Structure 1
Amino acid sequence: MNKKRWSGLLSGVGAILLFFGVWFLSAHLLNKPLLPNPLTVIARLPYLVEKQLLWHLKASLFRIFFGLFIASSFGFLSGLLIGRCTKGRAFFDALIYLTYPIPKMALLPVVMLLGGLGDTSKVVMIVLIVYPQVTVAVRDAIRQIPSDYYKVYQTLQASSLRQLIQITIPATIPSVLSAIRISLGTALSILFFTENYGTEYGMGYLIMDSWTRMDYPAMYGGILILSGLGFGLFLVLDWLSCWSCSWQE
């Protein structure tokens, strides 16, 4: 392991220790059941496993992965179309600027009425959050590509497909991953909120169910696992960035 990886590992361990240290100190100073110390919460995790934790985690993972896949796929394609389109640029830009600022939570009742209370509405809400950001990121990345790059390939008589594969797509991948990173936290928040409606499985349901029963160690255990899920997704995105964008270094 090189020096850079060791430094990253030590920084990660240090951040985790600081987080648990502040948590432990806060619990000690407050000294109330509503904020148990991290050791109590960790000791409660086997109980959560008995309460079908894996099924809750599986349901949340399916919704977040499926939503991110749909949003990133269609967002990439639409951003590619808008970015390369010159004739309808003003129309598509106006359409994005009109729809993008709409608060996605305001659409939750409409989505639930049309998609029901099952997985469909939850996935659709994630798509509504991530899709516009990916579209805008890809559009802007394409418009920032210097035209000289394409002129060189045109001089070499390269086909449009080859220009797309070797210029456009590599230039947009970092923007796609950055957009997903930015919207991931909001997507997890929306997932937590939507999992309290019409379902009995999901980390959001598990956390709120523990809260209503005043089982605070189990509630914080669910929050800790949900945070770990987000942390793991960020690590996956970082790995994808290093693997697919190694040319940036």
Structure 2
Amino acid sequence: MNKVLKYLLSLIIVVFLWWLAALIISSKILPLPIEVFEAVVELKSELLFHMLASLKRIIFGVGSALIIAVPFGLIIGRFKSLDKYLSPFIYLAYPVPKIAFLPIVLLFFGLGDLSKVFLIAIIVFFQILVHTRDAAKSIDPELILSVKSLGVSKTQLFWHLILPASLPRVFTAIRISLGTAVAVLFFTETFATFEGLGFFIMDTWTRVNYSEMFAGIMALSFLGLILFLFVDFVERIFCPWIFLNDPENKV
């Protein structure tokens, strides 16, 4: 089945279940899908404005984490001595609920975008770091020896084996971090800002306008979908070998 048809079928099923739940509950708290769609059309310009504000924060937050975490993770994964000494610090820092440091982050970086971007970056950093490190560590040693026997340099070994072999799990880490980033984004946008979908959703909630609130939730879901599809697209460019047996690639 064509991928577009799969998404369309999924959307139809979700809308149908939503419509059914709205009829059963019969409350303003859960408006009918048609009411929300009308709100989306009516507020399309405002929703687009808030989506772009949220998108900017996610891109800068996740992008900053990627730039640091991926090379750092590859280095730790390939050097056992570094992994031995740094892993305890990573394991201590990773489980800490960094969202609890929000007041401190605000004191250091202020109420603007920088504090929101920093919080997203520091939270997803460890997710990407651990996945990248594990990917680099899990490369078959015999494969590395085979490539080394060809007389390649360390730089060639990195670019032609270590990095390509680690990329699929790096993209998995990116997907996980995007889901986390959207959740963190919503929380950070509920205060000290007048831009972003988190602000829009909470603002409509306080005004008891549930149709517009669900329109904001739909926009946030759509933003997440676009980001995931973009990651899939980029992965197909940089990791084409993992899609060779994908039925959708066959005519």
Structure 2 length-normalised TM: 0.92
Quick one: distance in 2 between partners of 1:29 and 1:149? 59
How many angstroms does 1:156 deviate by? 1.9
> 1:198-237 counterparts in 2 under 5 A?
198-237=192-231
Residue in structure 1 matched with residue 139 of structure 2 by the alignment: 145
After superposition, the Cα gap between the structure-2 partners of 1:9 and 1:49, relative to the gap in structure 1 and judged at 3 Å, is: closer
Name the residue aligned to 2:8.
Answer: 13
Give the match for residue 29 of structure 1.
Answer: 24
Which of 48, 53, 63 pairs up with 2:43?
A: 48
* Greater alpha carbon shift after TM alignment, 143-152 vs 192-201: 143-152
Task: Give the fraction of aligned pairs with identical amino acids, expressed as a percent.
Answer: 40
Q: Are 1:38 and 2:38 counterparts?
A: no
Residue identity in the other structure for 2:154: S
Of the three residues 106, 110, 114, the one matched with 1:112 is 106
Structure 1 runs of 4+ off > 6 angstroms? Answer: none
Which segments of 5 or more consecutive residues in structure 2 lack a partner in the other structure? 245-251
1:52-103 deviation per Cα after TM superposition (whole angstroms, max 9, x unaligned): 3222111101000111111111110110121122223221111111100001
**2:96 matches 1:102:** yes
User: 2:62 touches 2:177 (CA, 8 Å); kept in 1?
Assistant: no
Number of positions where the alignment pairs a residue of Structure 1 with one of Structure 2? 243
Aligned equivalent of 1:126: 120
Aligned equivalent of 2:169, options 167, 171, 175: 175
The answer to whether the Cα contact below 8 Å between 1:192 and 1:204 also exists between their aligned partners in 2 is yes
Partner of 1:3: none
TM-superposed CA distance for 1:149, in Å, is 2.3
Instruction: Check whether the contact 1:70–1:127 (CA below 8 A) recurs between aligned residues.
Output: yes
State the AA in 2 paired with 1:48: L
- Given the alignment, which residue of 30, 37, 55 partners 1:61? 55
User: What's 1:156 paired with?
Assistant: 150
- Secondary structure of residue in 1 paired with 2:193: coil
| CA distance in structure 1 between the aligned counterparts of 2:12 and 2:41, rounded to whole angstroms | 22
Separation of aligned partners in 1, 2:21 and 2:228: 27
RMSD across aligned positions (CA): 1.3
CA distance in 2, matches of 1:20, 1:104: 35
**TM-score scaled by structure 1?**
0.93
Contact 1:56 1:202 in 2 (8 A): yes
Aligned to 2:30, the other structure's residue is in SS state coil
Match of 1:77 in 2: 71
In structure 1, distance between residues paired with 2:67 and 2:98: 19
Deviations 1:149-198 (A, max 9, x none): 22223222211110000001101111111011122222111101101121
